[in-house]
Each structure stands twice: as structure tokens, then as C-alpha cells.
Chains A and B, each alone.
Chain A
Amino acid sequence: MNTAPSSRSDAELRAALQDCLAAIAPEARLDAIDPQASLRAQLDLDSYDFLQLLIALHERLGVDVPESAYASVDSVQRLLGYLAAAVASGSTESMNPRTPSIGSPPP
């Protein structure tokens, strides 16, 4: 059963982000770009690409980045920070249709 984890290491989140990026920008390497500069500008992601990234992250980690947060996640550092905080606070969703409830799984 696929349940949303209540914690992920930074390395796991980074790997997840790298994987999600792979489908959109196959040549992109997170460790080759400036973690504090614009992610979209460095990887040439247009609004469609960025939305696909968020869809992939939502499926992979259960984290829903709302539109109001877009401006605050446009760097690797800020995006990873947002994901880590969302996962740690348990405000993630299980993407398994058999467990539709939002929130962290019971201990």
C-alpha cells in the first residue's frame, strides 16, 4: 500500500525532485545548477513545464504546491525547503485511491 511518508530525508527529496525533472528536462542535473537562482530560468521551464513538475511532485510525494506559493519555490533550495516542510508537517496526501483521506498515516 502506498501511503504518504511522515518524513523524508533531504537526499530522498532531492532524488525525488531529480526524478520528477527527468521527464520534463531530461538533460537537467540539480547539482549542476545554482540552488539559489531561478530554477525555471536555469532549466528553461515554461509555465507548462513548471506545472508538469508540480503534478509529478504531487504524485510522487503527495505535496500540493498551491498557486499562491509558486513565487516562493522558484529555486532548488526554496523548493526543497517547501517540500521538506510539507512532508514534515504531515500536510501531504496519499495518492493511492484506496486511501483518499488527506493527512499523515496513523502511527
Chain B
Amino acid sequence: MIELRLPSFGADMDDALFVAWHVQPGQAVHKGEVACVVETQKGAIDVELWQDGTIAALVAEPGQRLPVGAPLALLAEAGEDWQAIAREAPRVTAAVAGVAAVAPASPQAAPPPPPPDAAAGTEAPASATAPVPASPTAPAPAPVPRPEAGAPREREAASSPMREAIAAAMARSKREIPHYYLAHEIRVDAALDWLERVNAGKPPAERVLFAALALRAVAQAAAVVPGLNGHWIDGGVRAADRVHLGVVTALRGGGLVVPALHDADRLDLAATMAALSQAIARARAGRLRSGDLGDATITVSNLGDLGCDEGWGVIYPPQLAIVGLGRIAPRPVVTPEGTLAAARTVRLTLAADHRASDGLVGARFIAAVAHRLEHPELT
């Protein structure tokens, strides 16, 4: 038997509001399928399954505010009898009801508690709906009634809890993490010319953005220079053995989320662009998945498009570093002959946890990123 538990989507997350089920008892499910939707300070998140199995019992109910780790459902593994497991469910349900707080009415549009006579039928709406395939555009089968009408006000209301979460994380970062800062200006004419050749003749849907090239270079550098990829846990460095690159993504209504590109150091350029594109699309559509959040090992903030020459990030705890990328622009450079010329450059910054690494490590990391951007054909 497998217990599907509420995952954490970041160090600043304590609980989530359970919104709706996308699966029903008796349904065979697979890893990667969306099981349910929860509402957090980062917006509505589609919770993905991490195992194959058969849904035995739905434990969480819409309207419950659940702590991270609370059981959401019971799954039968291959060879197990899901109905037998379902019969055991009431004990788990009672335990969850003990820890769950029914969400108070708040501007963030929590639904009213379900009336008692509907409690028995909580699973009915889910079973009346056909299983929804894991798709970013699939609508939730049980829409949550919102006390406020009108999209702009919803957007404002939704950004307040998000803003609180960002504030809490950033305040904690500045309180706990001794940052050191490094910067470097990287020549990118070679990368831009190379990218132009890669994109030439390709329809828009197949083109690669400079951001994908830069993110990939950062991920690869993080994989080879230890001390910047991982987390600070219990007073020590917990180096990550994989690189999951958090990409700071601004939302149109305000606020930001940081979806992760998994194994970003191992993706080829086209796959990096696809992963980036899909993550941004999900983030801006408000359809982030649990797999997008919570396990970034290093973060990048790309402020270049906003016209900012350079940006200094604040490390997202408990990560060890954050990389900033500024605007690509022609800037004065000195040629090998000692003359002044104009060349396109980008300013890269690194803010890193001085408990985990020092300037020499940071400088090596920056040099690794610069090398990859100056020689794009090599990677």
C-alpha cells in the first residue's frame, strides 16, 4: 500500500488548501499523472503521482487545509487488493480530519466548508467525472467557488499570499545566509552568432532563446564546480547529486514562481528550450505541477529582458547560490590589440552562501559558465 502524501513545494511552505481530486477509487494510475489540485501561496498546483498503482481511497477532502506530509490518498500496488485497502481507509481519514483545519474564509478565495450531507458524497463528483489525463490545459472537474467576482481582483488577492511567502523566504535568507557576491562580464557575440545559425531557417516554434543557452551553461557549471549546487541543512552542506535549475519566472499579474528544470545539466539545447518553455507556460497559466516546485538545487534570475544591466539575487533558502543574468547589450571592450571596440556582453552575477563556499569556488563557477557561453559549439 502506498500513501500519497502532500509534498512540500519549498522551504517556505507549511500547508496547502486541498481543492479537488482528478482521480477516483478503483482507477489505475501511473507515475506523472495529476492526482489532485492544491492551492498554495504559489498558486494552484497540480500534484503529480510518483508511483504506478490503483487508487484505493481518497482521504483528503476539498476545503481541508493540510500540513506538508499529510496523507491525501491510499494507493494499492501491483498485486494488492484495492478494495481491501479501501476498507482500512476510515482509520486514516479520521487521523487526517484530526490534523486538517477547515480553511477559514479568506480573500484568497477558500471555499466554504462542505455541508454535512455532502460529506458522504465528496467522492461522488470525482467518480462522476471521467479521469482527467495529465495535461496542463485540463480543467479541474470541481471548480472552487470564489467569493470575489472579476479576474483583476482575483489576481490581486492571489498575489498577497504569494507576496507574503516571498517576503518570508527573502527575510529568512537575509537573516540566516551570509551572502558573498561576485560578478563578471561575458562576451556573447560568439554565442549569439552561433545561436543565429542554429535558428536560421527554423520556424518560430523550433527556435532556441539565448536564455536556454545561458541556463544550460549555468547548470553544467553547477555540476562540475562543487559547493554551489545543493542545500544547507542542519548546519552543513548537503551537496545535490543532480542539478535542478530553478528559473525565476515573473507572472503577468505580479508575483513570481520558480519552477525547476530537472537535470538541466544533462539536457541538450533543444530539450532545455522545451523544458524552459513548458515550465514558463505552466507557471503563467497557473497550472504548475508538484514536480515543478520544491526541489531546485540552484536558482537563476534572468533580468535581461527587463532592460536591467545586472541583478543581484537573494538566495532562496536553503539553497546555496543564486545566479543573476542581466541585459545583453553592446558595451565597450578592449581588443587583444589594445584598442577600444564595441561587443555584445552580458553581466553575470553570483550570490553564494559563504558557509558553503568561498570566493575562489565562486570564481571558478563563473569562469566555467563564461567558458561555455564563449564557446557554445563545445557543449
Contact = CB atoms under 8 A, between A and B. Distances in A.
Interface residues of A, number: 17
Interface string B211-227: 10000000000000000
Contacts of B210: 47
B252 A55 contact: no
B252 A44 contact: yes
* Residue from the set B200, B205, B277, B280 with the largest chain A CB neighbour count within 10 Å: B205
Nearest to B207: A51
A54 B306 contact: no
Contacts of B305: 46-48
A64 interface: yes
A66 B196 CA distance: 10
B207 A67 contact: yes
A48 B250 CA distance: 11
Contacts of A51: 204, 207, 209
B203 interface: yes
A47 B211 contact: yes
B199 A48 contact: no
B209 A58 contact: no
Interface string A12-45: 0000000000000111000000000000000010
Interface in A47-62: 47-48, 51, 54-55, 57-58
Contacts of B306: 46
Given A25-B252, A67-B196, A67-B199, A48 B204 contact: no
Contact of B205 (A47, A58, A67, A68): A58
Given A47-B210, A47-B211, A47-B305, A64 B252 contact: no
A88 interface: no
A65 interface: yes
A28 B316 CA distance: 32
A64 B199 contact: no
A47 B250 CA distance: 12
B307 to A, nearest CB: 8
B203 A48 contact: no
Contacts of B209: 47-48, 51
Nearest to A50: B305
Nearest to A65: B204
Contacts of A27: 252
Nearest to A66: B200
Interface string B240-253: 00000000001010
Nearest to B201: A66
Contacts of A64: 203-204
A66 B203 CA distance: 8
Contacts of A68: 196
A26 B204 CA distance: 21
B309 to A, nearest CB: 16
A55 B204 contact: yes
23 contacts: A25-B252, A26-B252, A27-B252, A44-B252, A46-B306, A47-B209, A47-B210, A48-B209, A48-B211, A48-B276, A51-B207, A51-B209, A54-B204, A55-B205, A58-B203, A58-B204, A58-B205, A64-B203, A64-B204, A65-B204, A66-B200, A67-B196, A67-B207
Interface of B: 196, 199-200, 203-205, 207, 209-211, 250, 252, 276-277, 280, 305-306
Q: 9 closest pairs, A vs B, by CB? A: A46-B305, A54-B204, A55-B204, A55-B205, A58-B204, A47-B305, A47-B209, A48-B280, A67-B199
Given A58-B205, A67-B196, 5 more contacts: A26-B252, A51-B209, A55-B204, A67-B199, A67-B200
